[in-house]
Amino acid sequence: MKKGKLIHNEISHTIAKLGHTDGITIGDCGLPIPDTVKRIDLAVTLGVPDFLTVLDTVLSEQMVEEVILAKEIEIYSKEMYEKIILRLKELEKEQKNKVKIVKISHEEFKKAINETKAVIRTGECTPYTNIILKSGVVF
């Protein structure tokens, strides 16, 4: 059995296959997921699992150099936005590298999902609580 936090086999496998700049999306339960992108559906009911638990677990495994957020989250879900930013600051300390934060419109975000390797769907119900994590390298 794996020793780390992440025990979900599909998520673990997807992260292991990521190369430099490859992306993975973590989304709320309402995010439209294109049929052409791998869907890892964790949503059980509204709010379960929550976005932050999934984000924390993925961040414990993935080296991240850039994130993409819909700029609407800062306006409509400010508390969630602040929690995400706090986690990214902690990640920078842990990884000892800067994490670039890119903000685009929600419409652009939905298009950007097409370029990611997978979308992890959570049960989160907070508006615009979606993130694309782009991989860095460990060396």
Catalytic residue among 2, 13, 20, 89: 20
Q: State yes or no: 50 annotated in a binding site.
A: no
SS (H, E, C) the chain: CCCCCCCCHHHHHHHHHCCCCCEEEEECCCCCCCCCCEEEECCCECCECCHHHHHHHHHCCCCEEEEEEECHHHHHCHHHHHHHHHHHHHHHHHHCCCCEEEEECHHHHHHHHHHCCEEEECCCCCCCCCEEEEECCCC
| Residue 20 annotated among the catalytic residues of the structure | yes
Residues recognised as catalytic: 20
Q: Write out the binding residues for substrate.
A: 28, 106
